[in-house]
C-alpha cells in the first residue's frame, strides 16, 4: 500500500513522515513524501498537511503543476482515502477568509473564519493540548473518546455548512472544530503527528480505513 504525503513547500514534513512511517510499519504501508502528481495518482492513501496561512498554502498547492488535478481525480473520482491536517484540513472548505477570500478545494462545504473566543482572556492562536469532544462515530476515530487530548496550533477554524460533517470539536471559549469528514475524506485541525498516543491511533486507523 502506497501512502502519499503531499509536499508543496507548506512546512516541515519530517514529524508527519516519521509518525506515518511508524504506524505504516504495522500495516505494511509504504510512506512517500512527494511533490509528483503521478505518485499521488497511484497512491492508495493521500495525506495533505499544511502549516501557515490559508492563502499561501493554497497558492503553493496550486503552483505544483498537475497536483490539484491529481488530487481531484484520486479523491473525487476514485474515492481514495484522504486526510487533511491543519491547513490541509482547512483547504477542504469552500472558502478561507484569512487576509483575503481564497477558494478552497470545496470537498466539504463550509468556510474558514477567525477564532473568536467568548472569554477574552483566552489567547489566539489556540495553541497547546485540548480535549476532544466527539460528535459521532467514525472508523478513523475508533479507540478515541471524548476527553482525549490532541495538540492544536491555529488561529482560524473550519465552520462546516452541514453539521453532519463535524465529527469532533474542542472547547476554547466556544466550539472550535477539531475534526471534519464525509465519505472518503477526513481532516484534523490538530496535528496527529504531535498528539502522541491519540494521534498515532488516528493515523493507524486511517491507514486501515476502507470507506
The residues assigned a catalytic role are 86, 191, 193
Q: Kindly state the cell numbers that stand for 141.
A: 476515530
Number of other CB atoms surrounding residue 123 within 10 Å: 11
Q: Kindly state the cell numbers that stand for 100.
A: 483575503
> Which residues are CB-neighbours of 86 under 8 A, at least 6 positions away?
49, 50, 51, 153, 154, 188, 189, 190, 191
CB 3 within 8 A of CB 45: yes
- DSSP code string of 135-176: -S--GGGTT--TT-EEEEEESEEEEESSGGGEEEEEESSSEE
Amino acid at each position: 500500500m502506497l501512502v502519499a504525503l503531499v509536499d508543496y513547500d507548506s512546512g516541515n514534513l519530517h514529524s508527519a513522515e516519521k509518525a506515518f512511517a511508524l504506524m505504516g510499519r504495522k500495516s505494511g504501508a509504504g510512506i512517500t513524501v512527494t511533490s509528483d502528481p503521478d505518485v499521488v495518482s497511484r497512491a492508495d492513501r493521500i495525506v495533505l498537511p499544511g502549516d501557515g496561512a490559508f492563502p499561501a498554502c493554497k497558492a503553493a498547492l496550486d503552483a505544483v503543476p498537475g497536483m490539484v488535478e491529481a488530487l481531484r481525480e484520486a479523491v473525487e473520482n476514485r474515492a481514495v482515502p484522504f486526510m487533511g491536517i491543519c491547513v490541509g484540513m482547512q483547504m477542504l472548505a469552500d472558502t478561507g477568509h484569512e487576509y483575503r477570500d481564497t477558494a478552497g478545494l470545496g470537498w466539504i462545504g463550509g468556510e474558514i473564519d477567525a477564532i473568536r473566543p467568548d472569554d477574552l482572556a483566552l489567547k489566539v492562536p489556540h495553541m497547546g493540548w485540548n480535549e476532544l469532544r466527539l460528535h459521532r462515530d467514525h472508523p478513523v476515530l475508533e479507540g478515541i473518546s471524548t476527553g482525549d487530548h490532541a495538540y492544536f496550533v491555529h488561529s482560524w477554524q473550519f465552520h462546516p455548512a452541514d453539521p453532519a460533517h463535524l465529527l469532533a470539536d474542542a472547547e476554547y471559549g466556544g466550539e472550535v472544530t477539531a475534526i471534519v469528514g464525509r465519505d472518503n475524506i477526513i481532516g484534523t485541525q490538530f496535528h496527529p503527528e504531535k498528539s502522541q498516543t491519540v494521534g498515532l491511533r488516528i493515523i493507524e486507523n486511517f491507514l486501515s480505513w476502507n470507506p
